[in-house]
Structure 1
Amino acid sequence: MTVSLSTPSARLQRLLGRMSMYRMLVVLLLAMAAWSFVLSLAGALFYTPAELAATLATAVVSTLMASRVMGLLFRTFPQTDSALITGLLLFFLFWPTTDGVQLGWIALAGLAATASKYVLVWRRRHIFNPAAVGAFVMGVTGLNAPVWWVAAPLMLVVVIPAALLVLYRSRLLPMAGMFVLVATAVVVIRFASAGESVLEGLATALGSYPVLFFAGFMLSEPLTLPPLRWQRLAEAGVVGILFSVPFSLGPVFMSPELALLIGNLLAFAAGQRGGISLRLRGSRELTPTARELVFEPERPLRYRAGQYLELSLPHPSPDSRGLRRIFSLTSAPEDPQTVSVALRVSSPGSSFKTKLLALKPGARISATSVGGDFQLPRDSGRKILMMASGIGITPFLSQLRSPDAAGRDIVLVYSASSTAELAYADELAALGVRVVACTPEDPLRPGWTWLGAGLPDAAALAKAVPDAAERTAFVAGSPSAVAAARSALKGAGVRRVHTDPFLGY
């Protein structure tokens, strides 16, 4: 028997995966801006619609224009969605106004924020959150101090659901939760020490401080995050303390934007300290609908088996999927001269994949980051159960190719629409991996077990892998396949389940 592939969480993940993270942020920030106008028209917000409109237009136009200028100066494609996001964030930070001088300073903040993406870099990697840079420059110079008016209580009506969607889509809810917990706790303790009630401190922290907006839209900026979950939790804790404790260093006062910039420095120290440049060595067909691309890195790439790589490929007229895509690494970290990824090929494909697959050997492409916690346990004696659906086999290839897999007790349950779609089948056989194949036809591989079509349910899984309950499970594939496999694993008594859902593939 097979399990159902439809769950509410899987449907939500598929829906959110239809557009790039950047495009989703633009949509949500525009929705929040629209809500601010509704509140203003209803008299529920201190600022007039004219002040909101003037500030919004200034912030967005300045970042769009600065992005075009910087693109020309540095000979890169302008990042329209990124520029829109920066402008919209600045709109929520500075006091809305129609005063020409103050609007000029907001425009300058937009220029400073955009320039930071190109100037405040190390080996082609930008270090700081652009909006935080723009806000900090204005504040430290005294030209126009940010007020974070988005913390108005009635703005929470849209800030909370929008932030939750961003954090759910980016899988950063634990990190955001850590920040919110620490920042709120510190504010409550400060209020209690001053003789105020705990409830009043809690209401102030969540209703007057920009805690939730900061967690959902500032701290979560992907290019300024460390690669591992524990590092992100640590950064969130440090930033939460800095965010909520007022103090100064000489003329510089602690502020939300400065707290974030300090966190960005910590993240930079923990991650790839420099941009990632790759040269395409070649490609090969894995299945009728999948290809593997093999690159040579300009400098050795530090990563761990099971992690992902975000590729950046600027091109004219990108679709809603954007200019960046995340792919699981299939190469072994121990080979410093090889970086490989695999992807599903569909028709019609996204503009990104079309451009990527058209690259010729020798072409160069950049990557923005490496990250992920989908890694085998350090204890090599722990039994492993891998469950892959379709192109979800990719992170497991990196793990199985690594010498770290040698000697481990590993079972791979591999589901595909046909035997022809079993990517890396020859290599899996050569590696001696114990494979349980879930395909309509028997792949007829020596040593493999065939279960039939579709992912197994709990009973079939327990029968095929009798000691499943003793194993630590890792699941990768589409959101619906991951949800179904997780359900089957729980039903079979597996307690430790790590997942890696592939969005938008």
Structure 2
Amino acid sequence: MTAALDGLLGRMTMYRLTLTLLLILTVEALILSVAGLLAFTPAEIGGTLVAAVGGTIIGTRLMALILRLRPHSESSLITGLILFLIMFPSGTGAGLGGILAAGVAAGASKFLLAVRGRHVFNPAATGAVVASLLGVGVAGWWVANAYMLPVVVVGGALLLYRTRKLSMAAVFLVVAVGILLYGLVQNGMMPGAGLQLILTSYPVLFLLGFMMTEPLTLPPLRWQQWLVAAVVGVVVALQPSIGPVFLGPEFALVLGNAVAFALGQRRGVRLSFAGRRQLTPTSTELVFDTERPVRFRAGQYMELDLPHRGADGRGSRRVFSITSPPQRRTAVTFGLRTAEPGSSFKNALLDLPDNARITGTLVGGDFHLPRDPAVPLLLVAGGIGVTPFISQLRDLAERGERRDVVLVYAVRSEQEIAFRDELTGLATRVVLFMPTSGDAPALPGGWILAGAEPTADSLLAVVPDLPRRKVFISGSPSFIGRLRAEVRTAGVSRVRTDAFLGY
């Protein structure tokens, strides 16, 4: 089931998935209002929708026009719909004007409160905070109601699963729900009734699934995300006030965003394009010189920022796994797939002239090998998913560290084997899975051709001690879902995964 879910979600960008789920919530809200199941009339719901979305589009396009940048339409709609679901609906001119102002502030904040092209604060939360501080509007978080709860739960769960933020969600829920439930029980409410009240009346699930999962405002490391989740959870649950200002969930998220920014890498990495080499007919490795040494751990990624003409809806930032070892301090390399119809970003990246300058805005990721060299490892790569493992294997070679490592490498054809000569030089034990017809291909000494597709049985046949190995899987979401199920069937209890899921 997880493989099918990974395959389905992997075909949608995060923007498209989030927008789809928000549109479903919006349609549901309109239907509930018409049916008289919400406390707001259809006119109030409709007016609030137009004001929130319209204001966000105005703020976004105005700032984009001033700064001569291309606005991101899907992002604007997402922000506007979130505002619609959290701002207190109104049918008056003044009320709708306040919601419109919140939308304008939300759209503008993506440009005004940004560092290196990356906005620091969640735009919808920022718009609600600005409206509250100006006294023109208030966030009512009316999306938290019993009728909309099922869609919020399912939608939030899909977003958390897609972004691999389930552990962050657990921290937030334990902290926020724990504190809220303790307070209700102390006031005489039964635990079951208290939990029901929290889930149907407090916006913890919507805040978590639809707003805290925004990749651009999260810190890069898992423990940092846990810390931010705990901070937001405490503020949401305690509901403090500073003078006359009540710190609602929107203030809690903005505070969490500030903590995330403080934890993240705040200085850009200046990169100078130094060359490229063709890895396979469908993949390339790019080389960049660095002005200053770049600190990272093998297996991490870097977000690249490349403003360019004609940028499409995916924007000017993309994440790529680093293939160079950490010891190579004056240059950094990235491997990427180039066969499919390219985005405007990838086309611009591949067309860079020599010595062209770009910026690395973020180094992050927790896809690390265990520090204990005695732990036996199984690395499973699908296609260009081998890139983080190349960095890790290069790192081991640089440090002269010998480990019990088996690389399971699944490719579509012999021509798609990337880093073939280097893997041979590193004396890596490679188990290759590849469809064949006719004679078996000529492989380097020590390599094993184990079949067309890795399955539990075929993996155990070539790696009998698989259940005692620590397993790492890298590749597309569908590949990861399929292989995770196979290695678990083979007896592996815990699997670490690394997938580029996009924004």
Q: 1:147 aligns with which of 140, 163, 166?
A: 140
SS of the equivalent of 1:146 reads: coil
Displacement of 1:426 in angstroms is 0.9
Q: Which residue of 2 aligns with 1:4?
A: none
Percent of aligned pairs with the same residue?
Answer: 49
Q: Which residue of 1 aligns with 2:260?
A: 267
Amino acid at match of 2:431: V
Whether 1:100 aligns to 2:93 is yes
Q: Which residue of 2 aligns with 1:445?
A: 444
Q: Distance in 1 between matches of 2:32 and 2:310?
A: 35
Q: Which residue of 2 aligns with 1:490?
A: 488
| Greater mean alpha carbon deviation, residues 462-471 or residues 49-58 | 462-471
Displacement of 1:364 in angstroms is 4.3
Q: How does 1:189-228 map to 2 (within 5 A)?
A: 189-228=182-221
Whether 1:20 aligns to 2:13 is yes
Change (3 A) 1:140 1:502: closer
Mapped contact 1:116–1:126 kept (Cα < 8 A)? yes
Amino acid at match of 2:182: I
1:434-457 deviation digits (Å, cap 9, x = unpaired): 2222233344212323324332x3
Q: 1:162 aligns with which of 148, 155, 161?
A: 155
CA RMSD of aligned residues (A): 2.5
Q: Distance in 1 between matches of 2:304 and 2:193?
A: 46
Q: Distance in 2 between matches of 1:116 and 1:300?
A: 32
Change (3 A) 1:40 1:278: farther
Change (3 A) 1:278 1:96: farther
| Greater mean alpha carbon deviation, residues 331-340 or residues 152-161 | 331-340
Mapped contact 2:6–2:481 kept (Cα < 8 A)? no
Q: How does 1:405-424 map to 2 (within 5 A)?
A: 406-424=401-419
Amino acid at match of 2:405: I
SS of the equivalent of 1:154 reads: coil
1:1-50 deviation digits (Å, cap 9, x = unpaired): xxxxxxx3223222222232112212221221111100011111111222
Displacement of 1:368 in angstroms is 5.0
Change (3 A) 1:16 1:361: farther
Amino acid at match of 1:406: E
Amino acid at match of 2:213: S
Displacement of 1:174 in angstroms is 2.1
Change (3 A) 1:18 1:466: closer
Whether 1:458 aligns to 2:456 is yes
Q: How does 1:366-385 map to 2 (within 5 A)?
A: 366-385=359-378
Change (3 A) 1:27 1:481: closer
| Greater mean alpha carbon deviation, residues 419-428 or residues 495-504 | 495-504
Q: Which residue of 2 aligns with 1:82?
A: 75
Q: Distance in 1 between matches of 2:311 and 2:20?
A: 17
Q: Which residue of 1 aligns with 2:167?
A: 174
Amino acid at match of 1:73: I
Displacement of 1:377 in angstroms is 0.8
Amino acid at match of 2:461: K
| Greater mean alpha carbon deviation, residues 306-315 or residues 126-135 | 306-315
Q: Distance in 1 between matches of 2:117 and 2:83?
A: 24
Mapped contact 1:296–1:337 kept (Cα < 8 A)? yes
Amino acid at match of 1:207: T
Q: Distance in 2 between matches of 1:134 and 1:452?
A: 55
Q: Distance in 1 between matches of 2:488 and 2:44?
A: 54
Q: 1:132 aligns with which of 96, 100, 125?
A: 125
Q: Distance in 1 between matches of 2:44 and 2:309?
A: 35
Displacement of 1:432 in angstroms is 2.0
1:405-425 deviation digits (Å, cap 9, x = unpaired): 732221212121222211001
Amino acid at match of 1:449: I
Q: Distance in 2 between matches of 1:156 and 1:475?
A: 34
Whether 1:469 aligns to 2:467 is yes
Displacement of 1:473 in angstroms is 1.2
Displacement of 1:255 in angstroms is 1.4
SS of the equivalent of 1:436 reads: strand
Equivalent pairs counted in the alignment come to: 496
Q: Which residue of 1 aligns with 2:223?
A: 230
Length-normalised TM-score, structure 1: 0.90
Q: 1:429 aligns with which of 421, 424, 428?
A: 424
1:186-214 deviation digits (Å, cap 9, x = unpaired): 11111111112212211111100101100
Mapped contact 1:223–1:368 kept (Cα < 8 A)? no
Whether 1:183 aligns to 2:176 is yes
Where structure 1 has 5 or more consecutive residues not aligned to the other structure, the ranges are: 1-7
Change (3 A) 1:443 1:241: farther
Mapped contact 1:399–1:405 kept (Cα < 8 A)? no
Q: Distance in 1 between matches of 2:180 and 2:89?
A: 27
Displacement of 1:148 in angstroms is 0.9
Where structure 2 has 5 or more consecutive residues not aligned to the other structure, the ranges are: none
SS of the equivalent of 2:40 reads: coil
Displacement of 1:320 in angstroms is 6.8
Q: How does 1:266-415 map to 2 (within 5 A)?
A: 266-275=259-268, 278-297=271-290, 300-312=293-305, 324-402=317-395, 403=398, 406-415=401-410
Change (3 A) 1:188 1:76: same
Q: Distance in 1 between matches of 2:409 and 2:451?
A: 11
Amino acid at match of 1:263: G
Q: Which residue of 2 aligns with 1:120?
A: 113
SS of the equivalent of 1:131 reads: helix
Q: How does 1:7-86 map to 2 (within 5 A)?
A: 8-86=1-79
SS of the equivalent of 2:143 reads: helix
SS of the equivalent of 2:148 reads: helix
Change (3 A) 1:369 1:36: farther
SS of the equivalent of 2:333 reads: strand
